[in-house]
Structure 1
Amino acid sequence: MAHWSSGYVIDVDYTHGFYQELTPSLLSFLTLLQGVQAPDLGAPLAYCELGCGQGFSTNLLAAANPHIEFYATDFNPGHIVGAQSLAQSTGSHNIRFYDDSFADFLLRTDLPDFDFICLHGIYSWISLENRRTIVEFIRRKLKPGGLVYISYNTMPGWASMMPLRRLLLEHTAAQGSRSSSPSRVTNFVDLADALGKLDTRYFASHPKLAKRIEKLKEHNPNYIAHEYLNQDLEPFYFTDLAQELAEAKLTWVGPANALENLDDVNLTKEQREFLARIGDIALRQMTRDHIVDQQFRRDIFVKGAVRLSAQQVRERWLETRFALTARGSKIPRELRGLRHTVKLHSGIYDPLIAALEPGPRTLREILTEPTLAQAGFNRLTQALTILVALGSCQPCLPVQGAGERRLTTERFNRAIAELSRFERKFSHLASPITGGGIAADRMAQLMWLSLQDKDTDMIRFVGDVLSTAGQRLLKDGKPLSDAEHAAELRQRADEFGENTLGVWTNLGLCDPPQQKSEQRRLRA
C-alpha cells in the first residue's frame, strides 16, 4: 500500500508565509490589465486554495474578505490543525479547512463552485496523477468566468539545477538520512557547497549555480526541504503547462505580477520585436522564458475569457481605488527591470503620490487634480501599474462592506499580534482596504498592539513583552546592553511613528482619529 504522503515531505512543516498574488483584489486588477473580465469583487464569491500549507494566506484573506467563502485543503494534518486553530482564534466564520488529498477533495459533494481556484508552488511538487486530479477538479468546480492563479518552477531557469539536485539526493540517501528531512537538508546544502568548491567542469559550465547555492544557505531549512527534497519536482515549459490546463477549459490571461507586464524594462527593443512576430501565445511565452532565463512563473488563467471594450476597461480603471503601502518619501523613484532601470518622472509621480498619501482614492478622483488631469488617463494608468509593480501601492476593494471588513481584520490582526508576544512566526497583518496582507515584522506588530491596548508608553510596552519572553533585541547578531537596548527600542518606535503609523491608518489597520495624537506621543 502506498504511503499517504506520496513522496511529499511531511516531517517538517512548511513556512508561514503570505503570498500577495493570492489576493482577489490584486488578481482582479492584473486581469483588468489584460482587458479581461474578472469576478465582481462586490458580490458574494467562493474561493479555493489547493495545497494551502500552513493556511496563513487563506486565513488572512478570509479575514480581509468576509464577503467571500474560503475553502482550502492540504493533506498534511499538522498544517490543517494549525490553520483551523488560527481561524478559530481570529473568529473567522467564512473559512473551511480540509486535510484531504486532491483525489479525496475532488470526490467531495459539499463544495460550491468557485470563482477563484489558487495554487501556490504546489503544482511543481506533485506527481502527474495528482496534477491530472487538480485539472479535473478545476474542470468540474471552477465557474465560467472564474480565475485560476498558479505558480510553478519553470524551464529553462531550472535546467542547470535539476541534474545537481538528482546527484545531491542520491548522496543524501546513500548517507542514510532518507528518514529525516532536517538532516537531509543539512547534507543537501553541505554537499552542494562542497561540490561548488571542487573546480568541477559542471559548475564551470553553469556559472550561476554557485550564486544559487550561496542563496540556498540563506533560506529557511523548511523551505529547502519542500522545494528540493520531494519525490516529485517538475519544472514546466509554459507550453506544456498551458496544454495541461486547457483540459480544464482554461485560457491564459497574463502574469500574476505587475512587473512582468512591463516589457519595456525587462526586454531589449530587439527582443520585444522578435516576440511580437510570434503569433502563438503559448510559444511566445515559452520563447520569452528562454530570453529571460525564467525560473519561476506566476500566471492567471480564466475559464471563458470575456474581452472588455476599451470603454469598459477605462470605466473599471476609473472606479478602482488605490492605496499606498509605504510613506511617499520612502517610495523608490526608479524601477529596476531585468534589462533597464527607469527613473520615475517627478512631474507625474510626485503629485500622484501626494494625491494618494491622505488615503485611498479612485482614479476618477485622482484625475480631478489639475496637474494629474493634464498628465492624462493613459500615463496615469501606467504610473499606477508601476507603483503596484514596486510594491508601494495596491488596488483596493470597493467601499461597500468596509465596515464589516474593519471588524474582521481587527480580530485577525489582534490574534496575530498577541502571538507575536511569544515568537516571530507571522510577518503580515490584514488590511480591510486592500483585502490583502501588509508586511509587518514582529516589532511593528507589538507596537500596533500597544496602540490597540491604549498603552501610553509604547517603548515600555514592547520592552516588557520582550523581557517576559526572555528575549532582547540584537544588532549585527550581538545582544545589546541595557542602554543600547533602550535606545534601539526608541529608534524603532520613532521609525514606526514616522514611516508606518500613517500608512497603516490609511490601510484601515489603525484608528484614524488617534493618528496625530499617537504620532505626538511616539515622538515624546
Structure 2
Amino acid sequence: MKFVVYRENFINSIEHPIFKEQCRDYFANTQFRRDLFVRGKNTLTPLQIREKLRKISFVLLTAPEHIPTTIQGSLGQFNLIQEIYKPIGEYFQKNNYAPVTLAEIENNIPELNYNQISNALTILCHLNITQPCFNEPTDLILKQLQDFNLYTLEQASFHPNYQVLANPYSGIGITTDHFSQLSYPAHFIDKLKSAKQFAEYVHKNLLNLNLLVLNEKGELVKDKAESLKIIQKKRKILSIPTKLKLHKH
C-alpha cells in the first residue's frame, strides 16, 4: 500500500502531461493505452455521452454465476458490488443472453441508476465478460461467421491451435479454450443430451489427439472412468451462450 501511495504521489508531481502518462505506463507495465491512442477523438458533453450510451447494446459472454466477485487492478483488489452486478447478469440471462441496451437494463432494473449500470458494463467489458454490439447482423454476416466458427470447431478435433470464435453481434472475437471447442459441437451439432454421452464424445476426441485430462492436483489422468467423471464435472461449469448457433451444411 505504501508503494501505491508513493507511486501516485510521484506521478501527480509530474507536470509534463506526456511524461506523466509514460511514467504511469512504466509503473503499471502497460503496453497499450486505449484511452490515449484514439483517432479522431470528439469531445462530447456528459449529456451527449449519456444519450449515446443508452442506445448501445451489450451482450453477456458467460453465465451470471461465472462473473467474478473481485478484480485485481493496478491499485490492488476491488470488490464487485453484488447488489449491482448480480441483477444485471440475471437480466441478461432472463433475456436468453440476447443483446440488450443500457436503457433497457435501466428501465427493467429500477433499483439501479444510470451511473451504476454504465460503470458496471464498462468494467465487464474490460474483463471481456460483456461486449458492445452493433445492430442485428444480416443473414449474410450470420452465415459467414457460422461457417467460420463451424470450421474452427471442426479443426479442434485435429489440433488445439485456434483459440478464438467470431461473435457476429459484437464483431469481436471470443476467446475459447480447446475443451470448449470440443464441447460446443457435442451440444449444438450432435445434440447430445446426457452427461455420459457428452463425456464420451469429448474423451474420444482427446484420445485421438493423444491428450489426457488433469485432475484437481494437476496430474494427468489415464484411467477412463476417472477421466469421464472429470469431463462431466467440467461440463457443469461450462458456459454455453445460447445465441451461438451452429449447423452442418
Same fold (TM over 0.5): yes
Equivalent residue, structure 1, for 2:227? 485
1:366 aligns with 2:105: yes
What is the RMSD of the two structures over their aligned residues, measured on CA atoms? 2.8
Equivalent residue, structure 2, for 1:510? 245
Equivalent residue, structure 2, for 1:465? 205
Q: Which runs of 5+ in 2 are unaligned?
A: none
Aligned partners of 1:334, 1:492: CA distance in 2, in Å? 22
Q: Deviations over 1:40-87 (max 9, x none)?
A: xxxxxxxxxxxxxxxxxxxxxxxxxxxxxxxxxxxxxxxxxxxxxxxx
Equivalent residue, structure 1, for 2:50? 314
Equivalent residue, structure 2, for 1:294? 29
Q: More strand by proportion, 1 or 2?
A: 1
User: Post-superposition shift, 1:415?
Assistant: 0.8
User: Post-superposition shift, 1:421?
Assistant: 0.5
* Amino acid across the alignment from 2:232: R
Q: Which structure has the greater CA radius of gyration?
A: 1
* Amino acid across the alignment from 2:158: F
Aligned partners of 1:438, 1:411: CA distance in 2, in Å? 15
Q: Where do 1:319-468 residues align within 5 Å? A: 319-357=55-93, 358=95, 359=97, 360-372=99-111, 375-399=112-136, 401-456=137-192, 457-468=197-208
Moved over 6 A (4+): none
Contact 2:87/2:109 (<8 A) preserved:
no
* Amino acid across the alignment from 2:105: I
- 1:458/1:402 Cα in 2 relative to 1: closer, same or farther (>3 Å)? farther
* Amino acid across the alignment from 2:106: L
Q: Deviations over 1:181-222 (max 9, x none)?
A: xxxxxxxxxxxxxxxxxxxxxxxxxxxxxxxxxxxxxxxxxx
TM-score, length-normalised on structure 1?
0.41
User: Post-superposition shift, 1:323?
Assistant: 1.8
User: Post-superposition shift, 1:295?
Assistant: 5.4
Q: Where do 1:260-279 residues align within 5 Å? A: 275=11
User: Post-superposition shift, 1:311?
Assistant: 2.6
* Amino acid across the alignment from 1:366: I
User: Post-superposition shift, 1:390?
Assistant: 2.9
User: Post-superposition shift, 1:271?
Assistant: 5.5
User: Post-superposition shift, 1:270?
Assistant: 7.2
Q: Where do 1:47-446 residues align within 5 Å? A: 275=11, 280-290=16-26, 292=27, 294=29, 296-299=31-34, 301-357=37-93, 358=95, 359=97, 360-372=99-111, 375-399=112-136, 401-446=137-182
* Amino acid across the alignment from 1:380: I
TM-score, length-normalised on structure 2?
0.80
Q: Percent of counterpart pairs with the same letter?
A: 24
What secondary structure sits across from 2:78 in the alignment? strand
Contact 1:351/1:371 (<8 A) preserved:
no
Q: Which runs of 5+ in 1 are unaligned?
A: 1-264, 512-524
* Amino acid across the alignment from 1:413: N
- 1:309/1:483 Cα in 2 relative to 1: closer, same or farther (>3 Å)? same
- 1:369/1:307 Cα in 2 relative to 1: closer, same or farther (>3 Å)? same
